[in-house]
Structure 1
Amino acid sequence: MKEVEVESFKLDHRKVDAPYVREAGKIITPSGDVIKKYDLRLMQPNQGAISTAALHSLEHLLAKYMRQRIDNIIDLSPMGCRTGFYLSKIGETSLETIEEALVTSLQEVLATKEVQATTAKECGNYRDHSLFGAKEYAQQVLAGFKE
């Protein structure tokens, strides 16, 4: 079996300073398309984690709000450690543009009145949401970006 490296396993999580946005991977497809993965780190690793209900609501909200600001997003996926998200997209986009979109999206979370797609038909775990929690974490992360 081929030995593979997982980029996030090589990152020294003790030396990062969240919140931040960093490029976490780049693939050039056989047809020449660029696919980039970004680490949207919201919480300091091994010091904090977003509750599952708040993370789930943030996932729903950011999936929409980030796509309103950034073209060609493939996916926005929560990290298993619950300290942030991975954003995958087609094409080159600067870190500054990604960070600006994240900050304005988190600001929009603070003004949100309802999380979309939270019915049994639309969501695989529709009972596990917290808009209140999503707003609490958004506020905390935004304070970190301003420091």
Structure 2
Amino acid sequence: MMELKPIASFQVDHTKLTEGMYISRVDGDVVTYDIRMVRPNCGTYLGYGAIHSFEHLFATYVRSGPLSGQVIYAGPMGCRTGFYFLVRDMAPETAIRLVRETMAFIADYQGPIPGATEAECGNYREQDLEGARAAARKMLPILKDWTVEKLAY
């Protein structure tokens, strides 16, 4: 049987982790950001519908702007405490600014959720725009003064 090695994200002490934005790992020119929206293991997690709507809005927003060519992936953590955001050749200051802008976009978004039709999504009925907006609103003051120095776990 293959030996399972501990992965980087499991090496982070989740008992000390708080909401914010962190560099999870760097692989060459690709940086994985941990956008932690809920304190781990505290009993309150992002709801399924909210995290799903947030994902659609986050991914659509970052892939629609001038930095879209540097965006690799944006998606939820299985533990429902946040999102991973992978970018290539993007300065950390720019990544922080883009995440702030994305949170503001989601917090104020009104309208149909992009990609939320039966033809476009494997679970299009499970959406919660208000939950996604609330999660983004909660993150705005947290990320307001976020700096590159705060990106370290």
TM-score bin, normalised by smaller chain: 0.7 to 0.9
Aligned residues: 140
Could you tell me how far 1:9 is from its partner in structure 2?
0.5
Letter matched to residue 105 of structure 1 = T
TM-score (norm 2): 0.82
Quick one: structure 1 residues 109 and 139, their matched pair in 2 at CA, closer, same or farther if it must change by over 3 Å?
same
Contact 2:100 2:144 in 1 (8 A): no
Is contact 1:21–1:98 with CA below 8 Å preserved after alignment?
Answer: no
| Corresponding residue for residue 102 of structure 2 | 105
**Residue of structure 1 aligned with 2:129, choices 123, 128, 131:** 131
Aligned partners of 1:69 and 1:101 also within 8 Å? no
Q: Answer whether contact 2:72 2:87 (CA < 8 A) is retained.
A: yes
Structure 2 alignment gaps of length 5 or more: 146-153
After superposition, the C-alpha distances for 1:24-46 in whole angstroms (9 at most, x for unaligned) are 11223xxxxx2221111111111
* Conserved? CA contact 2:36–2:83, under 8 Å: yes
Q: Indicate conservation of the 8 Å contact 1:74/1:90, yes or no.
A: yes
Classify 1:57/1:69 alpha carbon distance in 2 versus 1 (closer, same or farther; 3 Å).
Answer: farther
Distance in 1 of aligned mates of 2:101 and 2:31: 21
SS in 2 for 1:13: coil
- Deviation track 1:57-105 (CA, whole Å, cap 9, x = no partner) reads 00000002223263411111100111111111222421x3222211111
Match of 2:18 in 1: 17
Which runs of 5 or more residues in structure 1 are unaligned?
A: 29-33
Structure 1 vs Structure 2 CA RMSD: 1.8
Q: What's 1:51 paired with?
A: 47
- CA separation of 1:27 and 1:145: change in aligned 2, threshold 3 A: closer
Identity of aligned residues (%): 32
Q: Distance in 1 between matches of 2:95 and 2:144?
A: 16
1:146 CA displacement? 4.3
